[in-house]
Amino acid sequence: ITIPEPDRLDVEAEDIPLDIVYEDDDVLLVNKPKGMVVHPAVGNYTGTLVNAVMFHCGSRLSSINGVVRPGIVHRIDKDTSGLLIIAKNDAAHEALSRQLSEHSIPRKYQALVYDNIKEDEGTVDAPIGRDPRNRLRQAVTAPEKGKRAVTHYRVLERLGKFTRIEAKLETGRTHQIRVHMAYIKHPLVGDEVYGPKKSGLKLPPGSTGQMLHAKVLGFVHPSTGEYMEFD
């Protein structure tokens, strides 16, 4: 075999509009649109949130995650919209990462799922790991093969064949809400990976991807120590 030399990855700043919810010298909070990838990866080196943030912030971003993910403390899926926090310096990044690892950052999502959920609220406590049959998917696994994952949900609105819910993350595993709701037989509307193959539901024109929005995000400010929450 011949192994090529690694390519040098230069992530370039791009003048892409940002929906800024809050900003100061330490943090930047944005409302990410559906369809935007958070950071560059294979097949997506331009048009990402990182490209946009680099243009807006210049060199004022934490360097902890290197050139591919400057300032990125946590991620949401490409087709998930909503609140995302960016760290402008390493001290802020470390403080926010610590809160995430301690599960002290409140994160609430809203989602539209299939069918009528009978109970008003519930909790899914089921470990999540890589799906052994499809490496592009996550799945509920045996405890020794995955990581603990806990999602709390409550019904906001019953819509006949669909239910609008709030989902609160206690842990933050990849695709957690999507996997857990599919696991209890209420997959997200529009989810092409974990949802039903033939739903019969016509989405609004121009709408793609799962109906999932990161609505509420709270954290203790890394400099002031003040608790802040955004909706």
Output Rg (C-alpha) for the chain, integer angstroms.
19
- Vertex 121 angle, CA 118 and 127, to 5°: 105
Question: Residues in the chain, how many?
Answer: 231
| Burial classification of residue 77, based on how many CB atoms lie within 10 Å of its CB (0-12 exposed, 13-18 middle, 19 or more buried) | buried
**Residue 133 has which token pair?**
């049959």
19 carries an active-site annotation? no
Which one from 10, 15, 24, 77 is the annotated catalytic residue?
77
Helix, strand, or coil (residue 49): helix
User: Where does 19-127 show beta strands of DSSP type E?
Assistant: 20-23, 27-32, 81-87, 107-114, 121-125
Beta strands at 81-87 and 212-220: parallel, antiparallel or unpaired: parallel
Helix, strand, or coil (residue 62): coil
Which phi and psi angles does 153 have, rounded to 5°?
-135, 155
Q: State the Cα–Cα distance between residues 12 and 26, nearest whole angstrom.
A: 22
Which phi and psi angles does 58 have, rounded to 5°?
65, -130
Q: Which residues are catalytic?
A: 77
